[in-house]
């Protein structure tokens, strides 16, 4: 879908909140930058995007987002290097996936220029909000939702596209203990599990609460049929290392095509790490934990990049993973973050300079 925008209207905030922020002690996604991008779909087309001060949104009580859940989003990060240059990581992949998600939920797809040029304009206006402390970044949240009115169960006729940003510290600190889910499912064949739809995440919260009550931090999701195969870890893709081979499940209707996931697969192969993309049975993981061939497990996603798993629970038994000094997870995370922050070469062409 093509469209050209010559100039993006920028309405700057009268005052800045930046002096109120402790950039040395940032939590994740709790502090918001001065501006946001806003763009409306009405009369059958996307209107010109504009940059406005970060502010609340007024919606009619009959807006269809409240009733039928037409909402999709993305997660991205911006980094600033020692030369004050600003970098993104594979942003076109986020744009493509946003439109894939939108199409599945009958939301009009965005023109690439609206996404990319709008994002670049927003980052230029709020460039000073990009933290430079190790492990920090400017988290970027593009999202689209139904703003059109009506109680009729049908797609809306109006939508709103917004990009907000939040200077953030690490998403997770340390390792997490997870519970392999035996009852609830994250998604099903023919459903919307592959899309970044808001409702996918709402449905995860209750089973995760139950796991937390049992002493775990997250859930490992299994297939919807027999709960026989592991598929995702919380809101992240999952990787398992058995002996020296890194294994992850294939994407499907149920599994998100994670940008970090596909980067890890490509990077691991380049590093000479054996990689298999195949179904991983719960039985295989449990047996590997028992016989010592399960070396590590980790979640992979934009927010945490790589989140190591210290152990898992299954059928009232707990299995601890060994401490490994030269873990694949820590090695791959360092290589990816060094590429993201312009501390190393980027042989893959993943890094995108904002200029």
pLDDT band at residue 282, thresholds of 50, 70 and 90? very high
So where are the chain's domains? Answer: 9-168, 176-340
Q: Is pLDDT of 4 > 80?
A: no
CATH of 9-168, one of 3.20.20.70, 1.20.140.10, 3.30.470.10, 3.60.9.10: 3.30.470.10
For residues 158 and 62, the answer to whether their CB atoms sit within 8 Å is: no
pLDDT digits (tens, 9 = 90+) for 113-162: 999 999 999 999 999 999 999 889 999 999 999 999 999 999 999 999 99
As to burial, measured by CB atoms within 10 angstroms (0-12 exposed, 13-18 middle, 19+ buried), residue 109 is middle
Backbone angles phi, psi at 146, to 5 degrees: -80, 115
pLDDT at residue 2 is higher than 60 = no
Quick one: average pLDDT of 211-235? 96
Average pLDDT over every residue of 305-312: 96
pLDDT of residue 5: 60
Tens-place pLDDT, residues 103-120: 999 999 999 999 999 999
> In the predicted model, is pLDDT for residue 284 greater than 70?
yes
Looking at residues 68-96, what average pLDDT do you find?
A: 97
Q: Compute the distance between CA of residue 29 and CA of residue 248 in angstroms, rounded to an integer.
A: 28
Q: What sign does the CA torsion over 144, 113, 302, 134 have? A: negative
Average pLDDT estimate for 192-211 = 96
Query: With bands split at pLDDT 50, 70 and 90, how would you rate the model's confidence at 95?
Result: very high
- Residue 3 scores a pLDDT above 80: no
Tell me the C-alpha distance between 164 and 160, whole Å: 13
Question: Would you give the DSSP letter of residue 63?
Answer: B
The pLDDT of residue 6 is: 63
DSSP annotation string for 289-319: HHHT-EEEEEEEETTTEEEEEEEEEETTEEE
Tokens of 163: 């990009």
Mean pLDDT computed over every residue of the chain:
95
Assess whether pLDDT exceeds 50 at residue 101: yes
pLDDT band at 89; cut points 50, 70, 90: very high
| Neighbour count for residue 152 (Cβ, 10 Å) | 11
Task: Rounding to the nearest 10 degrees, give the CA dihedral for residues 170, 171, 174, 178.
Answer: -170
Mean pLDDT of 25-40: 96
Strands 45-46 and 50-53: unpaired
Residue 1 has pLDDT above 60, yes or no: no
Read off the pLDDT band of 166 (50, 70, 90).
very high
- E-only strand ranges, 243-293: 245-248, 275-277, 280-281
Examine the pLDDT at 259 and tell me if it is beyond 70: yes
Residues of the chain above pLDDT 70, percent: 98
Gap between the Cα atoms of 53 and 158, Å rounded = 22
Q: Is the pLDDT of residue 241 over 60?
A: yes
Mean pLDDT of 173-183: 90
* Residue 144, strand partner residues: 72, 161
Rounded CA gap, 34 and 30, in Å?
13
Determine which helix (DSSP H) or strand (DSSP E) holds 264, and give its type and residue range.
helix 259-270
CATH code that applies to domain 176-340: 3.20.10.10
Closest of 120, 122, 113 to residue 11, by C-alpha: 122
**CA distances for 87 relative to 133, 157, 344, 351, angstroms:** 15, 35, 13, 7
């Amino acid at each position: 879908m093509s469209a050209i925008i010559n100039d993006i209207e920028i309405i700057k905030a009268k005052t800045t909140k930046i002096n109120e922020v402790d950039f040395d002690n940032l939590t994740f996604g709790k502090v918001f930058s001065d501006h946001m991008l806003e763009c409306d779909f009405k009369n059958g087309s996307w209107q010109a995007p504009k940059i406005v001060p970060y502010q609340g949104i007024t919606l009619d009580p009959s807006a269809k987002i409240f009733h039928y859940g037409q909402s999709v989003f993305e997660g991205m990060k911006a980094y600033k290097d020692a030369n004050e240059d600003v970098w993104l990581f594979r942003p076109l992949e986020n744009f493509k996936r946003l439109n894939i998600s939108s199409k599945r939920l009958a939301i009009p797809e965005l023109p690439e220029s609206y996404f990319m040029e709008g994002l670049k304009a927003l980052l230029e206006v709020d460039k000073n909000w990009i933290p430079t402390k190790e492990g920090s970044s400017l988290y970027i949240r593009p999202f689209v939702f139904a703003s059109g009115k009506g109680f009729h169960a049908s797609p809306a006729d109006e939508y709103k596209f917004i990009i907000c940003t939040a200077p953030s510290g690490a998403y997770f600190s340390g390792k997490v203990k997870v519970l392999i889910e035996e009852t609830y499912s994250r998604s099903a064949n023919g459903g919307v599990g592959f899309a970044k739809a808001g409702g996918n995440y709402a449905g995860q919260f209750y089973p995760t609460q139950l796991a937390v009550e049992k002493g775990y931090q997250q859930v490992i999701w299994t297939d919807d049929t027999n709960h026989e195969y592991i598929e995702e870890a919380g809101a992240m893709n999952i990787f398992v290392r058995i002996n020296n081979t890194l294994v992850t499940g294939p994407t499907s209707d149920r599994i998100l095509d994670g940008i970090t996931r596909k980067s890890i697969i490509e990077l691991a192969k380049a590093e000479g790490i054996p990689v298999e993309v195949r179904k991983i049975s719960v039985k295989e993981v449990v047996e590997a934990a028992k016989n010592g061939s399960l070396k590590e497990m980790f979640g992979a996603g934009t927010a945490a990049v790589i989140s190591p798993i210290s152990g898992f629970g299954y059928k009232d038994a707990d299995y601890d993973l060994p401490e490994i000094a030269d873990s694949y997870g820590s090695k791959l995370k360092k290589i990816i973050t060094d590429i993201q922050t312009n501390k190393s070469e980027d042989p893959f062409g993943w890094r995108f300079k904002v200029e």
